[in-house]
Amino acid sequence: MELGRKVSLKEENGALVEELNRVSAENKKLTEMLAVMCENYNALRGQLMDYMSKNPDKELSPSRKRKSESSNNNNDNTIAMNRNSESSSTDEESSKKPREEVIKSKISRVYMRTEASDTSLVVKDGYQWRKYGQKVTRDNPSPRAYFKCSFAPSCPVKKKVQRSIEDQSVLVATYEGEHNHPHPSQMEATSAATRSLNFGSAPCSASLGSAGPTITLDLTKPKSSNNDARSSKSRMEATPEIRQFLVEHMASSLTKDPNFTAALAAAISGRMLQ
């Protein structure tokens, strides 16, 4: 009967709407997961740098530097910075002489996907930043924001945040230097990170189809060889082995593929835009 057909059509319509809602929710969840992954990556990266800077005992004089672009790509690994905060650039108050630059700061680039409507160029990486400038650059119509770590001048880390010219919903954060202090807001960052992704206890895998590379983090069987007691004193809520493994895994991934995060963010955002 026609009535029955109408009813079934209506049911089908409702089912479709429900499916749409479900897909939308899933999309949203994936977006959140991506953001969380980026947060986790940033946190892990910081821990990795912290860890690696504790092991090598190279004597390098920390010097703040202005621009360190000479020939390097975005992930040169000059990681053995001296982390002594007292001697870092607060001593001599030379106003205009060029500071000697023995080593370059570590420069890393992080791609962070945000809402396109989010106009604040804020990349939540767990650290506190103070904005000190904003410029419109030539190659990108989006303004570039300049941040210093709130622990400055004892912490010389700076970052630049600018929207990607290709995808306005992707923030490109360029970090210069390394934090010589633990996460000031480790709890907030951790809670935010574990809000929707249980990071320490569940296996985490992210795989992308045709659009990009397949990246899988298998946390089911971490190595249990060594744990860094010093770094675990302040921020080890998840299992140290898991974090250790994650750090090593991330390090190896990044070593093999410097554009790891770029590819990940670009691929996922591209699929989400479809």
d(CA 63, CA 50): 18
Count of residues that interact with DNA, criterion CB under 7 A:
22
**Using CB under 7 A, which residues numbered 6 to 65 contact DNA?**
none
Q: Sheet holding 158-163: strands in order across? A: 107-113, 170-176, 158-163, 143-149, 129-136
Stretch that binds DNA, among 110-118, 126-134, 216-224, 239-247 (CB under 7 A): 126-134
Question: If binding is defined by CB under 7 A, does position 67 make contact with DNA?
Answer: yes
Q: Euclidean distance between the first and final Cα of the chain, in Å?
A: 39
CB of 97 to DNA, least distance (A): 8
151: phi then psi, degrees, rounded to nearest 5: -85, 5
Q: Which among 37-45, 137-145, 163-171, 235-243 is the span making contact with DNA, rule CB under 7 A?
A: 137-145
Q: Which is nearer to DNA, 51 or 129 (CB)?
A: 129
Q: How far apart are the C-alpha atoms of 148 and 175, rounded to whole Å?
A: 10
Residue with Cβ nearer DNA (124 or 249): 124
From the list 35, 186, 251, the residue with the least C-alpha distance to 123 is: 35
Q: Select 72 or 132, whichever has its Cβ closest to DNA.
A: 132
Site for DNA in 78-97 (CB under 7 A): 96
Neighbouring C-alpha atoms within 13 Å toward the C-beta of 9: 6
* Interaction pattern, residues 151-170, with DNA; x per rule: CB under 7 A: -------x-x----------
